[in-house]
Homo-oligomer: A and B are copies of this chain.
Amino acid sequence: MLTPPYYAVIFVSRRTPVDSEGYAAAAERMLALAQIMPGFLAIDSVRDPTTGQGITVSYWQDEASIANWRQHAEHRETQLTGIQRWYEYYDLHIARVERAYQSAKRLVTSTTGE
């Protein structure tokens, strides 16, 4: 379990119906890349395939880690493609986690649903 304070990037989006054009590969690549970035802590990601609605929350040590990831060259390129092609819309919230709770049952600290 993560110990506050840490930072969360909440990414809420809806995919376009375009299911080709490299989205799955790019999403997988960004996930792998994020996980080796300095300050990366964990990620939770869920998308409902029937509606295209998705929420991804990534957790980071501090704001500098988030800024560093945002500026990453390959990530920037993918962001641009995402805006132009893969997402009907997105919302982004950068937040400082102040408290955290967890059920007794969870065994893993990070999940990706896609």
Contacts and interface: CB of A to CB of B under 8 A. Distances in A.
Interface stretch (A19-27, A32-40, A88-96): A88-96
A71 interface: no
Contacts of A105: 87-89
A97 B95 contact: yes
Given A55-B57, A87-B103, A113-B51, A12 B44 contact: yes
Contact of A57 (B12, B88, B107): B12
Interface residues of chain A: helix, strand, loop or mixed (majority): strand
Contacts of A88: 105-106
A106 to B, nearest CB: 3
Contacts of A10: 8, 10, 57, 97
20 contacts: A2-B93, A8-B8, A8-B93, A8-B95, A10-B57, A44-B91, A48-B48, A51-B113, A53-B111, A55-B57, A57-B57, A59-B93, A87-B103, A89-B105, A90-B102, A90-B103, A91-B102, A92-B102, A93-B97, A93-B100
